[in-house]
Amino acid sequence: MPQTLPAFVINLDRRPDRLERIGEHLAERGVTFERIAACDARSVAEEQIARVVATHGPLGQLGQGDRACTVSHTLAWEQFLKSSASHGLFLEDDIYLAGDLMQILADADWIPTETHAVKLEKYGDGASRLLLGPKIGQTPSGRALHPMCSRHVGGGAYILSRAGARAALDWRGRIRVPVDHFLFNDTVSPLRRMLRPAIMVPAMATQRAYDYNSDIAALGKAVRPRGLRKTLRTLRRGGNEINQSPRQILQYLTGRARLMDVEFAEAPPATTDSRR
């Protein structure tokens, strides 16, 4: 089956070992990709980062690594828009992907037209309980697609439509959170509602399969304040969550969303339940 959706792998110049690993991994799945040279937090000029992402936001002060990581993803979106493809797959170099990956890259017919972002990844270990909308579709191999009604971060593997990539790039210079929050956390992102992201259930990607994690952001996550600053940040974050709570509670009580346990699965479901 031919691959029509392009794949982009974000990788630091100083980590050829990771490029070799992800290259072999994707080759095993029959997937070709284009490498995107990641923005290196060790050497990048502040001017270049500032053109894309701020130093502070609703989650507090951003570390240089998180900011450089966000720039790296924007570079991948730009490269995607130079193609004629309707959708693109974006990967960090430590991601592990299930064996049915190639099936989702043959075409984009399985992606609902109103969905501009699809999250392949289950972030963290074990299962996560998420508030999700009713099933709106499925991958060719049978993984269900559910609209995301609560945040679930992680930017290791996702698909964007052309409209989604353009909308994301329109926020360059005004992004105030790490890229995964920008895409998948509606409590702090002005973009997420436009993207209307869906997540695969079960997920087909994980960043917990290897002994190392991506070092694209290794030089600093969001800076953790202390004392009064920590209290103020906690209050801000709580306010953001509370702002979304009435909508989420209404969705849950009216049956428009339900809590579901999402985890990574190497193989897709053996049978497909239209209600899952």
**Which 3 state secondary structure label does DSSP give 250?**
helix
Strand 7-11 and strand 258-262: the pairing is unpaired
**Which 3 state secondary structure label does DSSP give 81?**
helix
Please determine, for residue 40, whether its predicted confidence score (pLDDT) is greater than 90. Answer: yes
Please determine, for residue 261, whether its predicted confidence score (pLDDT) is greater than 80. Answer: yes
Each residue's pLDDT tens digit, 152-187: 889 999 999 999 999 999 999 999 999 999 999 988
Instruction: Give the dihedral of Cα atoms 89, 102, 196, 266; nearest 10 deg.
Output: -110
CATH 1.10.238 fits 7-262, yes or no: no
Task: Determine the Cα–Cα distance for residues 65 and 215; give it in Å rounded to an integer.
Answer: 8
Query: Are residues 9 and 35 in contact, defined by beta-carbon separation less than 8 angstroms?
Result: yes
Query: Are residues 195 and 148 in contact, defined by beta-carbon separation less than 8 angstroms?
Result: no
- Smallest Cα–Cα separation from 112: which of 90, 87, 133, 137? 137
Each residue's pLDDT tens digit, 211-239: 545 565 444 455 555 554 544 444 344 44
pTM score: 0.85
